[in-house]
Amino acid sequence: MSLQDYRRKRNFAKTREPAPEDSARTGRRSIFVVQLHHASRRHFDFRLQVGDVLRSWAVPKGPSYDPKVKRLAVEVEDHPVSYANFEGDIEEGYGKGHVDLFDRGVWATQGDPEAQLRKGHLTFELFGDRLKGSWHLVRGAKKERQPAWFLIKAEDAYASDVEADDLLDAKMRESTRRAATTSRLRAAAKKSTSRKKAPPTSKTRRMSAASLTKAAAAVPRARKAKADNAFFPPQLARLRETPPKGEEWVHEVKWDGYRILTGIADGEVLLWSRNALPWNDRIPEIVQAIKGLGLDSARLDGELIALDASGRSDFNALQRTLSGEAQAPLVYMLFDMPYLQGYDLSRASLVDRKALLERLLAHAPKHLAYSAHNVGHGDDVFAMAMDQKLEGIIAKRANGAYRSGRGDDWQKIKRLESDEFAVVGYTPAKGSRLAFGSLLLAKPDGNDGWIYVGRVGTGFTDEMLRELGETLTKQGSKKPTVRIDAVDPTLRGALWVAPTAVAEVYYRGIGNKDLLRQPSLKALRTDKSPDDLRDSDRAPSAPSARKKTRATKASAKVAPADASAVVITHPDRVVFPDDGITKQDVVDYYRAVMPWLLPPIADRPTSTIRCPGGIGSPCFFQKHVMAGLEHVGTAKLKEETGAQAVYLYPRDEAGLIELVQFGAVEFHPWGSHVGSPDIADRVVFDLDPGEDVDWRRVVAAARMVRGLLDELGLVSFVRTTGGKGLHVVVPLNPGADWDTVKTFARGFAEAMAALHPLEFVATATKRFRRGKIYVDYLRNGRGATAVASYSLRSRPGAPVAVPLRWEELGKVKSGNAFDLRSLPKRLARLKKDPWEGIDEVRQDLASVSEKLGA
């Protein structure tokens, strides 16, 4: 099967299905999707992402949770990854009928999925809303054109008598009812309506909430405290050469993965990386497993790992799984619990905390594990780690409290000598080598600077070379950005950059020039920034290493590996004076929402609202390039007057953060891209309520706009503006010239005002707007802008413009319901982008303008 078959069977001028060109590796976890397809014969389409495609099977009766039931699964052509977002009607040709999204999530398997499929037996796990647990795909008798497989549920804690039809929601049942043209299908629809079963939950024995609360209260030095699922800084270890002696120390395996912190409050689970980024959407199987514990409130600390066939943590497999290149099963290895069921345990001894944690995890789902320890005998434990080729051990003071930050109560002893260094440049590629020859490395010099320690040129995969090459080789200076104490003739021709990525490197000691001996790359640490190295596990506890001023502690935060370093000056400057929100807070917010904010505005001419002195001082629009910008894109575009001017636009994270460094608070992109500035691909209707207009009227107005657009055959999306109103956004694909878009937008707005003169007005004159909603269409001209989704607004409270699903609009209380502090929590809870699929919508204005008489 291949995408050639997919293309051959479809006419993309007639079908709404995505074209094969839309298929590409996402850089995210590998997904699965199940779609209910009401074709000539109703069936479920079961799809697993393997590489850059969705391997697909048609399952006539749908998945069954009963391990005794073998469901026929007929292999069909591969589909593009973008097909996972497809819902709606296939109107003509192959597969004609209605498609509903039944379930979607991530999946995992132990080993190479392609090899398993070739052998005819794939064992895997699903982590969706409806489908969970372990499954098998087993190839049966081969057919000439379409191989027959069987989809079988494995015997596990989720096994039950639940069928796919039991899990249909009202929308799917209605689609089934409409499509039921035979008595057999009508009977199936009736059966699914009557059962209304919920997806099975994991049948694991666990301590009750009451017994957990009682056990937490009984821990010595436990204190009652309010639950909070916000990020908490983790306790960190110092590197030591040998394990400490004595029975007052316990020793654990050093797991090679990503540190993950868990906060639970009122049953809501939030996962955080060690640098306070939300991780719920990246590891849904871990969220699912933690929810299975049934906790009301807790704080958990552990390491996210991928296990190899020998039970050792495999960091490369972990990175490849998180990037979608592999599907290795993940495990959250838990080693501490500083809070449980309303009680702060941080002052309790480590062994008491771990004893309670072990009880909690005794019957936990398999993706959660307890990190056991040995009391004393550190040398023996370390020797065992060496024999088993583990990375090392962690020694912890048995009676120690849980204290955020680095201290001597936790000590790290490694098998192989390795350390983390900042990437500060590269040497050019030679021969067939991709992108670059080697990376130049540096470490902090103790005086807020960096010192060169050597270069690493081995241990890279082709994927690493490509990723780094896309960023590093587009920049660089011949002038070193760090201190060089040793003469290194190999640096001739090297190009230097400010500290960017963090590389973890194996090496065989330090040479006589204070350079690393025989370094080899272990991994690129995308979970860390160079600024983290200033407080590394090797940092001495002497006062000289700890002596930092307040300005130094709040000094420059460095962009992650895929962006250039941007120095943030005056991080303590207050931007929102009524709320105590500083420039660093604004930077941290934009970094946290970057995966959501950047894609919709990248490569669009963008105006910013700059408030260099904070929003209490004068702010102003900035759309042209200013002196000092190094990472922002520039484009020479025609002004409304016909003159040429150089406009700015963000290309990547570095450029956007650089604009924040220059005082930008808000971002307002064009409805077109710099590559085609005269073609608009967005129409924005700004619903701006006048005085005395209740919010419920604004919500009703947005729904009315959606309904009228729907009658014209146009799909629309909604967002809060961070102000008083709402935006209704219409994507265009293909786009249209600005005159056509502006004519349409004006005609639509005036039609609204004419149809409902007591509700709407299409003029900006304020005296006509009292008690009415202004349908602002003027954001749809060349050079006009609208506030970006997830942009802050320069108003008290630091409100944010936020995309919504239409279904949740009625739950939102105002246009400024979300702010800098609440939005990251919302994003951590989301299972998918509220505007998911907006770039795949195909619609234009050619026929619509005729309906409006434009």
- The residues assigned a catalytic role are 254
Whether 637 and 647 have beta carbons less than 8 Å apart is answered as: yes
Q: 662 in helix, strand or coil? A: coil
To the nearest 10°, the Cα dihedral for 761, 763, 764, 766? -60
Total residue length of the chain: 854
Question: What H or E segment, with its residue span, contains residue 108?
Answer: strand 97-108
Q: What is the 3-state composition of the chain as percent helix, strand, coil, each rounded to the nearest 5?
A: 25, 30, 45
C-alpha 390 chain-centroid distance: 30
- Residue 185 CA neighbour count, 13 Å, CB half: 17
Q: 70 in helix, strand or coil? A: coil
Euclidean distance between CA atoms 666 and 850, whole angstroms:
37
Reference 333, options 414, 256, 229, 413; nearest CA is 256
Site of tokens 């919709």? 600
Euclidean distance between CA atoms 854 and 849, whole angstroms:
5
Sequence-ordered list of residues with C-beta below 8 angstroms from that of 711, at least 6 positions apart, any chain: none
Euclidean distance between CA atoms 504 and 422, whole angstroms:
9
828-848: b (≥16 Cβ within 10 Å) or e: beeeebbbbbbebbebbbeeb
- Rg of the chain over Cα atoms, rounded to whole angstroms, equals 29
Query: How deeply is 218 buried, as exposed, middle or buried, from its count of CB atoms within 10 A (0-12, 13-18, 19+)?
Result: exposed
Q: 78 in helix, strand or coil? A: strand
Edge-to-edge strands, sheet with 606-610: 620-622, 606-610, 664-669
Q: Which CA distances in Å does 95 have to 10, 516, 622, 853? A: 9, 61, 50, 36
Q: Which structure tokens are listed for 275?
A: 């640098």
C-alpha 293 chain-centroid distance: 24
Euclidean distance between CA atoms 22 and 546, whole angstroms:
51
- Count of other CB atoms within 10 angstroms of residue 448: 13
CA angle 762, 728, 657 (to 5 degrees): 115
Question: What H or E segment, with its residue span, contains residue 760?
Answer: strand 760-761
Which residues on neighbouring strands pair with residue 137, listed in sequence order?
122, 151
DSSP 8-state class, residue 348: S
Reference 546, options 405, 395, 402, 347; nearest CA is 405
Site of tokens 């409902």? 756
Pairing label, strands 88-90, 71-80: unpaired
Q: Which CA distances in Å does 183 have to 176, 180, 189, 225? A: 12, 7, 10, 60
Q: What is the 3-state secondary structure (H, E, C) of 118-159?
A: HHCEEEEEEECCCCEEEEEEEECCCCCCCCEEEEEECCCCCC
Q: What is the 3-state secondary structure (H, E, C) of 458-494?
A: CCCCHHHHHHHHHHHCCCCECCCCCECCCCCHHHCCC
